[in-house]
A and B are shown apart, each in its own frame.
Chain A
Amino acid sequence: MKFRYAYLVTILILLPSMLLTGKGEEDNYSVYCAVLFSAPDEASMLGYAHPARSVGLFRREIDGSWHNVHHPNLFSYGLGYSHHNDTFRLYIAGGNGLHRSSDDGKSWKVLTGWTTEDILSVAPHPYDSTIVYVSTPFGVFKTSDDGQTWREKMEGMERWFVQKVVIDIDSAETVYAAAEDDLYKTNNGGITWEALGVGVPQILEIVQHPQNNDILLAGTEDHGVYFSHDGGETFMPGNGFPETAAYAIGFSGDGTRVYAGGYETGLWKSTDNGETWKLIWDDDSFDAIYAITVNPYDQKHIIVGTNGAGLYESTDGGVTWQHAGLYGAHVQQIKFVPGS
């Protein structure tokens, strides 16, 4: 509830400036995406001297083009942001560690050291900028002092590979970790974890309904999407989604629709919080969908990231699709970032 309150306060603060500039909420965001790598041929075709030029964190400009806002040659697995008080922070989860910028991407600092190796995902605390969780191939790490020190947070976990870490929408002490053997949950800020018992191993993705924290959806390596409508007490397989890797799941801002994609699946949609799924789009230009996001201010605006074919978007709820740039890119994560 505290997070919702903070969000409401932020909106109230921003509202006068929006009215003064004549802009609505929907204009007051940027779209960022994290690119892990790019196919050399496509990158070269676009004039990049080396495919490494086309990896890293990208921001979409007003003209629709994408601008690499951090050093190229940085393999990026994920991104995150925190936006509260007067502090806006961008994070890149990358091969060299967790990168943070406090000046809208102008300068960056690697917060982690050699003990944390690759950072696969980042979850900044929603209203305490000193607290950040990251997932790594060797577990979950947490800082409570703004990145000065990092503590491994693994008690209760059987295996150490954690693909993704996500903070609960209502309680920042509750965190989910998509791990090799199961989905884990902590209610005490990572001190201890309990396995939720999804029923299948290799959890790759975890998302929560934007308004109802009892609704959880998990993407798995070989068994599609699983859902829970009771806060993780029980999980069931989503009906219709193929039994293969589900890499990406994305809710619409109002929570009425959820989209999922994975390995050779195309894009699927559910209107009952993941119980049943229907294929809405597929395309031969890519093997997999790796990232999905829905514009929080426009439920019909969907962007998906692919493995090796860049980005596609739809502005009519998934009926028609256009290429949205970054040809050749393997896009790991896309986010609409408010207020940046």
Chain B
Amino acid sequence: MNCKATINWQTIAILTGIGFFILSLCLQAQQDFRERAALTLQAASEDDERNLYVLTAKLVQGVDREATLEELLSFTDDHVMGGMFYAYQMIGTYLHTKDFLPDELRSEIHRAYRDRTMYRGDTENHWVMYYTGLYLAAQTWPGLDGSEWFNGKSSTENLIEAEGWLREWMHITITIGQGEFDSPTYLMTFLSPMLLLYEFAADPAMEKSARMILDYLFADYAVKNLRGNYGGGHSRDYPQDIINPLTAPSVPWAWLYFGEPDFIPWDNPMGEPRHSGWNIVFAALSSYRLPEIIYNIGTDRSTPYVLTETKRTRNIIRFAGQRNLPVYKYTYMTEDYVLGSLHGGILQPIQQHTWDVTYVSNKPNNTLFTLHPYYSGKELAMFFPEQKKFLADEVDRYHKVYTDPDKWNASSPYEQTMQYKNTIIVLYNIEPGANHPHIDGFFPKTLDDRIELDNRWIAARHGDVYIAFYPLKEYEWIEEEVNYRWRSYDLQNGVIVEVGRKLDYGSFDDFIKHFSAASVEVHITEETLRVIYKNRNDDILDFTYGGDRLVNDELVDFSDYGLFDSPYLQSERGSGIITIRYGNKKRILDFNKSTITEIE
């Protein structure tokens, strides 16, 4: 009896321990924003990285104050570099910490806006940072003439110019979409300045606009967030983040606002991020709170949904008849994976990521995709004013992989996609003579299975997520450090990918059995590249390269796409009104009237 009783108590103790452990995990995942913000500030203040975010955290937390002030002073020294990052970060640091700053240091920071050239840059994120910095600096030091500013303009002129651009950017963003949309890397360069603007704009109208655009940006992000993974196609991203999504710079933001992923981002088990992530310091200090409805949209994955969107290209300066061509996005979100795509072609220079399937995993490299590693001076000359014969070399200086045949980010004029829910067809019609005339696929080694079936289908599995991958042409495998590179050399080429879950498809054996028998119709002529595929749900996808996209004989018409269309986000292009829904609740952002309406 005693023995039995002992076992029972032991069992109870173990179960209780497990229970507490699970509970603690749940609690950790549910830590509210304030707790995560406090953790962020504490960790940043203890870091020895030399940047303005860390210095801000140290000053706010009262860590090494004298040394920190000295360090901050060194950021104002007679250095040529201003730049757009500096322009907004320095004023952000100043405004968050001015109560701790001696007068002399305040003057030195002020002087930096006179003596340093704040370079405006050449991208959307550059200008957001530059003009936010300029707006807040001009507001902070009003009434000065041009001799007190780096650009020779008075405080009033700078404030007017900055406000003019910021309002124009907001208008474009909420009517035809962002140009640098859905970028796991550059997300912070929009959120962080807008959080500053919301916090410190003295003009109530600008503060309100910042609040609304923050709701917009967070909602746009939330609807593609899958446990910290930024799902779907991206306008711009770096190879490391593309092949290892949970190390992307957006991850700390997902953690801070959605509590996902469930690990502390500065102690990332998925690998070493490119950036420390301390750019969330300004967010941690902000009084902006994510509306509950956006939090719920970002975290509730109980019901699969389709999201279609319109974004825009970056400003095109040459070789097109339109400044901002529309970009059509399709995203299919489930609890376990997200499959998303851009419609294809050159939509962004250098860093485009056209499509992928990314699945929930506690292992790194949880994604699979293909691309054509195209590069050309002409592509770059579409977006940059320098001469096209030099641009590829110039871009290589900053983005080291641009001309690399093995790169993992690219926009190609020879790539087009068609997606319907869990199935995507990606076609490549590569012109003879094009640079790097092959297509590559990323298959992570962390997949549990990667099986080549007799009928050319490749069946892959990670946990309960299954991926069927059909190459139209012959291919080879190249083993690399974290992945197997699938490579195919035919110029008229493509893949069909169907993603499933145990929930929908049963066992992986059943999945394999199905695809062992699956058939694909491919019609290739000299003029057209056409694929007809019936997926397991009996949906028939009919896609001709450069031609029609048909689903079950119905034409997919991109002109029907709104700015957003999904159960959670809706907006007609050009309307200026964004409706955010969750359950019975609605939050309507009306940028025309500058109102936020909440409806239960």
Contact = CB atoms under 8 A, between A and B. Distances in A.
16 contacts: A36-B386, A40-B397, A52-B80, A72-B117, A74-B117, A75-B119, A99-B152, A107-B152, A109-B152, A110-B152, A114-B161, A114-B164, A137-B315, A138-B315, A180-B319, A245-B389
Nearest to A136: B385
B81 A77 contact: no
Given A110-B152, A113-B161, A118-B385, A71 B147 contact: no
| A36, A53, A114 pick with most chain B CB within 10 angstroms | A114
Interface in A37-79: 37, 40, 49-50, 52-53, 71-75, 77
Interface in A253-301: 263, 287-288
A160 B392 CA distance: 23
A141 to B, nearest CB: 14
A73 B117 contact: yes
Interface residues of B, number: 38
Contacts of A73: 80-83, 116-117, 119
Taking chain A's interface residues, is the majority helix, strand, or loop, or is none over half, making it mixed? loop
A182 interface: no
B164 A113 contact: yes
Nearest to B127: A114
Taking chain B's interface residues, is the majority helix, strand, or loop, or is none over half, making it mixed? loop
Given A75-B119, A96-B117, A114-B127, 10 more contacts: A37-B394, A73-B81, A73-B117, A97-B120, A107-B152, A108-B152, A160-B317, A161-B385, A247-B387, A288-B390
Nearest to B164: A114
Contacts of A109: 146, 151-153
Interface string B62-87: 00000000000000000111110000
Contact of A288 (B117, B121, B389): B389
A156 to B, nearest CB: 16
Contacts of A252: none
Interface residues of A, number: 40
A71 B387 contact: no
A113 to B, nearest CB: 5
Nearest to A36: B386
A288 B121 CA distance: 25
A307 interface: yes
B318 interface: yes
Contacts of B127: 114
B131 interface: yes
A231 to B, nearest CB: 27
Given A52-B80, A53-B80, A96-B117, A114 B389 contact: no
Contact of B119 (A95, A99, A120, A161): A95
A73 B161 CA distance: 21
A264 B161 CA distance: 42
Contact of B387 (A114, A118, A138, A245): A245
A50 B81 contact: yes
Contacts, number: 93
Interface of B: 79-83, 116-122, 127, 131, 146-147, 150-153, 161, 164-165, 168, 315, 317-319, 321, 323, 385-390, 394, 397
Contact of B317 (A49, A113, A138, A247): A138
Contacts of B318: 137, 159, 161, 180
A161 B387 contact: no
Nearest to B397: A40
A71 B164 CA distance: 25
A287 B387 CA distance: 13
A248 B222 CA distance: 51
Contacts of B153: 109-110
| A36, A99, A107, A109 pick with most chain B CB within 10 angstroms | A109
Contacts of A206: none
A159 B323 CA distance: 10
Interface of A: 36-37, 40, 49-50, 52-53, 71-75, 77, 95-97, 99, 107-110, 113-114, 118, 120, 137-138, 159-161, 180, 204, 221, 244-245, 247, 263, 287-288, 307
Nearest to B390: A307
A118 B317 CA distance: 11
Contacts of B389: 221, 244-245, 263, 288
B388 A77 contact: no
Contacts of A99: 152
Nearest to B161: A113
B398 to A, nearest CB: 10
Contacts of B397: 40
| A53, A75, A287 pick with most chain B CB within 10 angstroms | A75
Contacts of A244: 389
Contacts of B385: 77, 118, 120, 137, 161
Task: Give 4 nearest A-B pairs by CB, closest first.
Answer: A109-B152, A137-B317, A71-B117, A114-B165
Contacts of B390: 287-288, 307
B168 A71 contact: no
Nearest to A77: B385
Contacts of B387: 204, 221, 245, 247, 263
A50 B80 contact: yes
B400 to A, nearest CB: 13
Contacts of A137: 315, 317-318, 385
A188 to B, nearest CB: 26
Contacts of B81: 50, 52, 73
A221 B388 contact: yes
